Each structure stands twice: as C-alpha cells, then as structure tokens.
Chains A and B, each alone.
Chain A
Amino acid sequence: DAKTTQPPSMDCAEGRAANLPCNHSTISGNEYVYWYRQIHSQGPQYIIHGLKNNETNEMASLIITEDRKSSTLILPHATLRDTAVYYCIVRQDNQFYFGTGTSLTVIP
C-alpha cells in the first residue's frame, strides 16, 4: 500500500542535525510528500509537506530531489523530545498511507 520506503531506525546525537531519508520512486507528478511523526503512542503530528520545491518551517526542512524520487527530512538541532517514529507519506486520493516509518532515537 505505502508508496514510500524508509530505514526502520536511526540514531542522532542531541544537538546535531537529524537527516531522515525517504524513497518514493513511483510518485506521480501531482502527488505531495508529507511527513508526520508519532511520539510514543500519541496521535501523529504533522511536520511538513512539499511538492517539488524545498520547504522549511519552524519544525524542519524538507529537501526533495529534482526527479522527486526521494526526499530528506532535516531536523536542524535534534532534542531528546524529537525521539519518535517519523512517517514519510505520499498521499493517494483521500488516504495517507503511513507505512512503518523510521524510529529516530536522539541520544544525549
């Protein structure tokens, strides 16, 4: 179902940038890439989305390759509170397919 692939887990040192990759090689021209995260067992939280241009907001930056087949979510200065499962999603019609995401652990 999911149109994205992500590494199952990553570690990042506190204060360093966390770079989370995502492959979406079958993405269509008008499909957006979304990133959500789920902290522990809470409801997912929206982070950022993009179509073809790089995007930045107060939480993160999203870098999308020119061919749109992959993207990277960047948390510029990871904190312990950023430990979570991060989902890269390509929306299909009305549905977000979450996949299994990347479990990011920020290490003190």
Chain B
Amino acid sequence: NAGVMQNPRHLVRRRGQEARLRCSPMKGHSHVYWYRQLPEEGLKFMVYLQKENIIDESGMPKERFSAEFPKEGPSILRIQQVVRGDSAAYFCASSPGQGAHEQYFGPGTRLTVT
C-alpha cells in the first residue's frame, strides 16, 4: 500500500516561471490537503480539496496560487510567476474522509526560486 506520493521532490525555478507540484494520495483516499513550510517555521495550511471540489482555500494566497484535484489523476498545486518568497517545502497530505483523524503526509516538494 503505497503512501502519499509527491513529485518532483526538488524543483528549481527562475523568478517569473510557473511551478507545478503533484500529489497522489494514498489508495482509497479522496481528500487532499496542501501545506507550505518556510525555513525554520511550522507547516501552514493552504487548501483542502476533495475530488473535483475545493472545500477550503482560506490559507491560499489570493494571487498566483491555484489548486485542483481532478476526477482522474493527482492533485496539482500551481504557482504562477514565482518569486523568491515562494521558496519553501510544500507538503501534501491525504485522508479517507472529512472526519478522519489522521492525515498522511507525503515527503514534500522543495521549491527553490532563483
């Protein structure tokens, strides 16, 4: 039973480029959460999605950031026109349902903006 998969593990982008981060939840999980972790800080919630629906995006910056979780395929976190301040580790977690107590985290994608 594979865990949460994220790719790429490391991503380097120049300022102004687009970054696409992928997350495949655990088998049987239909709920996905994205978190961002800046250096020396705790994880900050960004967005919570179910298949084809955004449930809570209150932690998502209003501009340049978007997320989706299509019926087929992984969840995508997209950052347009990246800036140096976007450099961080982005973690995805999945759970089988809204009331589930455990969130299972992936290994993260480390984004570096040069």
Interface residue ranges, A against B (CB under 8 Å)? 1-2, 32, 34, 41-46, 49, 87, 93-101
Given known A93-B56, A94-B56, A95-B59, contact A44–B101 (CB-CB < 8 A): no
**In the complex, chain A residues whose CB is within 8 Å of the CB of B98:** 94
Residue from B41, B43, B105, B110 within 8 A of A45 (CB atoms): B105
**In the complex, chain A residues whose CB is within 8 Å of the CB of B89:** 41
**In the complex, chain B residues whose CB is within 8 Å of the CB of A49:** 101-102
A interface: dominant SS: loop
Q: 1/0 per position for B82-112, CB-CB distance to A under 8 A?
A: 0000000101010000100111111110100
Q: Which of A44, A46, A49, A101 has the most CB of B within 10 A?
A: A44
**In the complex, chain B residues whose CB is within 8 Å of the CB of A94:** 33, 48, 55-56, 98
Q: 1/0 per position for B39-61, CB-CB distance to A under 8 A?
A: 00111110010000001101100
Given known A95-B48, A99-B42, A100-B42, contact A43–B108 (CB-CB < 8 A): yes
In the complex, the chain B residue whose C-beta lies closest to that of A99 is: B42
In the bound complex, CA of A87 to CA of B91 (Å): 15
Min CB distance A64 to B, Å, is 15
**In the complex, chain A residues whose CB is within 8 Å of the CB of B67:** none
In the complex, the chain A residue whose C-beta lies closest to that of B31 is: A94
In the bound complex, CA of A93 to CA of B44 (Å): 14
23 A-B pairs (CB sep. < 8 Å):
A1-B44, A41-B89, A41-B108, A41-B110, A42-B107, A43-B93, A43-B105, A43-B108, A44-B43, A44-B93, A46-B102, A46-B103, A49-B101, A49-B102, A94-B33, A95-B48, A95-B58, A98-B42, A98-B44, A99-B42, A100-B41, A100-B42, A101-B42
